[in-house]
A and B are shown apart, each in its own frame.
Chain A
Amino acid sequence: MSTKKIRCALIGSGNIGTDLIYKIQRSPVLEPVWMVGIDPASEGLARAREMGLKTTADGVDGLLPHVLEDNIQIAFDATSAYVHAENSRKLNALGVMMIDLTPAAIGPLCVPPVNLREHAEKAEMNVNMISCAGQATIPIVNAVSRIQSVAYAEIVASLASKSVGPGTRANLDEFTYTTSGAIEKVGGARKGKALAIINPAEPPMIMRNTISCLTDDEPDHVKITESILQMIKEVQKYVPGYRLVNGPIYDGNKVQVFMEVAGLGDYLPRYAGNLDIMTAAAARTAEMFAEEILAGRIQLNAVEIA
């Protein structure tokens, strides 16, 4: 076996981008090569340089001239919904596949244990990671809906105040809309609703998620519980701190599951499971694409600019 790895760029030098460096460096199939920022004095860029990455403070345009010579094939975008479309267009044109951690959601929505394989097989050039709450809850909704039809699914995500950055705070409605929509599209519920609570308790609370599903017919307790436990194991493969606290508990047609998400504590603190599950899911997604590329099963092609 060759030890060849797929070379990656990270766009956005904030907490998410920095945490991603750690996760990608551990991967047997990925290698972090570039980090892109917009502030030459940023701590994130300095740290990336210390960790051996090349950096630019000129945004994506600073990366473009190096894409081909450095053979960058996958880029993670942890900037904002406003600039993602442009970043994606420029990099896709050079044959770079984009993993979108912003709420832009240009490409198909991806929750690894639910639909990653499908996206990788199609060699999608842009996939979106939805939101932290989406990554933490949609697997459970899907674990119910793959057993029997779900009329309505509702998720409540409680996040530690310190783990919620200014971007999310200023755009909570986007978070609500994106997550609610994904509960339907990926989770498989006919109607989805997402609630977010930001709790400032000290010491910070570990991310909690409560998932409630209303099934059309009486829920099959045994099958649904088994499906949920199996799904939790799938998520634990990339987020070891994904833990069932209570449930599944049944009340008529209602199934409720109470989860906790502790992070790995790579760069972000352990309580910020919400950020960790995003970076872990993004890294997992990149790995599957990388495995497919290395095995020669898919090829990334430059997307022509219309």
Chain B
Amino acid sequence: MMSQSNTSSLKGRKVILHDMCLRDGMHAKREQISVDQMVRVATALDAAGVPYLQVTHGAGLGGNSLQHGFAPHSNEEYISAVAAKMTQAKVSVLLIPGLGTMRELQSAFDCGARSVHVATHCTEADTAPQHIAYARKLGMDTTGFLMMAHLNDPEGIARQGKLMESYGAHTVYVTDSAGYMLPDDVKARVSALRAVLKPETEIGFHGHHNLGMGIANSIAAIEAGATRIDGSAAGLGAGAGNTPLEVFAAVCERMGIETGVDLFKLMDVAEEIIVPMMEHVVRVDRESLTLGFAGVYSTFLLHSKRAADRFGVSARDILVELGRRKMIGGQEDMIMDTAMTMARERGLLKAVAA
């Protein structure tokens, strides 16, 4: 084993890793990952001992749409193909009420999904009771996933997490969808949850790397009591990507945090399989940094770049305006709307008389 720091206060802590590259990574690939690629990646992650991996369209169940893009295959095809090959890893899915439905959850379960992130905006947990209860009825590992968590204060997150728990969630996640949070923000929210949730309810953290804080934030979450961490091999995910899972696993190993994954195998997956799949280098660039700086949903990145090209307004200007208007996950249509309004105001686009 590598040399470990003797001073880590987290030595011996057990943390469950959850890979996102086949779900959040779909965003970074414009939803164009093939079934064969998914099976190859998932098989390698399974062999590296990653206990959970998420597999769906980037926007989760029901995600195939003009709003979020169409993947080449249905969620059912992806889930079935991957689940059939797993030796130990559990396949999870994302379900955002208002987009995905219980029918689709049943169908995902029938295809082999055994864990679900039921996701709502961080103030709207009460749109999820049906779906969380349904997941529990199916016997799934069930997470309440509070997105854009920087837009609610720690007390608010605690109240929303308590609702998720009351609906039946095993785990409540603080989800930094905008990659905006700093370690103190994460600690405050995880601590507030820990103070109100039942001892058996786990806490998770899902980071985005837009300010380069994915790993530091995940460690901060563990210090405050989180036991589940989402990341993504090679960071393949929306915006500047998720917390790069192999880097995080290495840091855990140095600190003596037990993840149960094979670090070198995970490094190989990232380097040999994921990086060659990337269409653009997933990194902190000007636009993804803008997401983190302005607190904008990470998935807006590629949509804004496309709108910028089409209407001649800079992607950064669009993102800043979306942040100012407090647009949240799922409002991708407002990117084009905002770009069109800005283009009209700048005389670049003519209005249709109405």
What is the interface of chain A, defined by CB distance below 8 A to chain B? 152, 154, 156, 158, 161, 166, 169-173, 175-177, 193, 195-202, 205, 208, 210, 212, 214, 225, 229, 232, 243-249, 254, 256, 258
Contact = CB atoms under 8 A, between A and B. Distances in A.
A166 B337 contact: no
B354 interface: yes
27 contacts: A154-B65, A158-B334, A161-B123, A166-B126, A170-B126, A172-B98, A176-B101, A177-B101, A197-B330, A197-B331, A199-B326, A201-B328, A210-B67, A212-B66, A225-B352, A229-B353, A229-B354, A232-B354, A246-B337, A246-B340, A246-B344, A248-B352, A249-B340, A258-B333, A258-B336, A258-B337, A258-B340
B325 A197 contact: no
Interface of B: 65-67, 97-99, 101-103, 121, 123-124, 126-127, 129-131, 151, 325-331, 333-334, 336-337, 340-341, 344, 352-354
Contacts of B325: 201, 205
A173 B352 contact: no
Contacts of B129: 170
A246 B130 CA distance: 35
A294 to B, nearest CB: 34
Contact of A198 (B98, B131, B340, B354): B98
Contacts of B127: 169, 172, 198
A175 B66 CA distance: 19
A193 B331 contact: no
* 4 A-B pairs closest in CB distance: A201-B326, A210-B333, A196-B98, A197-B330
B164 to A, nearest CB: 14
Contacts of A225: 352
Nearest to A260: B337
A214 B67 CA distance: 13
Instruction: Give the one of A158, A193, A195, A202 with max B CB within 10 A.
Output: A195
Nearest to B341: A246
B99 A195 contact: yes
A64 to B, nearest CB: 33
A169 B123 CA distance: 12
Interface centre among A197, A201, A256 (most CB of B within 10 A): A197
A152 B70 CA distance: 13
A4 B197 CA distance: 61
B135 to A, nearest CB: 13
B332 to A, nearest CB: 8
A195 B65 contact: yes
